[in-house]
């Protein structure tokens, strides 16, 4: 096994252990569920969105796009993938949609801070 692959497996193992030890919410029960969670964050835009939402709970999509200096469609697509992965939650308030980290999103964010 290559050292890169071994390092990748150690990182995945650390993340899975961290999730299991620090949450009382629904945790991934198998490798496919964990894969969905990790793929949800496997993009530099999504990592930046997670960081931004962690710092500004209840941020709108317009503000996400403005702060990250990206177009609305890019921000919208990536936030949707984060929602589908269970890392972000949406709250509808009139015509505004407020974004916040889900419990699993908070766990993943705290794990990302260790790097």
Topology (CATH) of 3-112? Arc Repressor Mutant, subunit A (1.10.10)
- In contact, 76 and 18? CB cutoff 8 Å: no
What is the mean predicted confidence (pLDDT) over 83-100? 93
Positive or negative torsion for Cα 76, 63, 101, 109: positive
pLDDT digits (tens, 9 = 90+) for 15-70: 666 655 554 445 667 888 888 888 888 999 999 999 999 999 999 999 999 999 99
Statement: the pTM of the whole predicted model exceeds 0.75: no
């Amino acid at each position: 096994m290559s050292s890169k692959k071994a390092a990748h497996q150690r990182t995945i193992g650390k993340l899975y252990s961290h999730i299991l030890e620090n949450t009382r919410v629904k945790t991934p029960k198998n490798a496919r569920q964990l894969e969905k969670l990790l793929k949800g964050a496997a993009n530099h835009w999504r990592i930046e969105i997670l960081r931004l939402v962690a710092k500004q709970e209840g941020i709108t999509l317009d503000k996400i796009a403005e702060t990250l200096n990206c177009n609305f469609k890019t921000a919208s697509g990536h936030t949707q993938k984060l929602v589908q992965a269970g890392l972000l939650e949406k709250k509808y308030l009139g015509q505004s949609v407020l974004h916040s980290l889900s419990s699993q999103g908070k766990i993943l964010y705290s794990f990302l801070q260790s790097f």
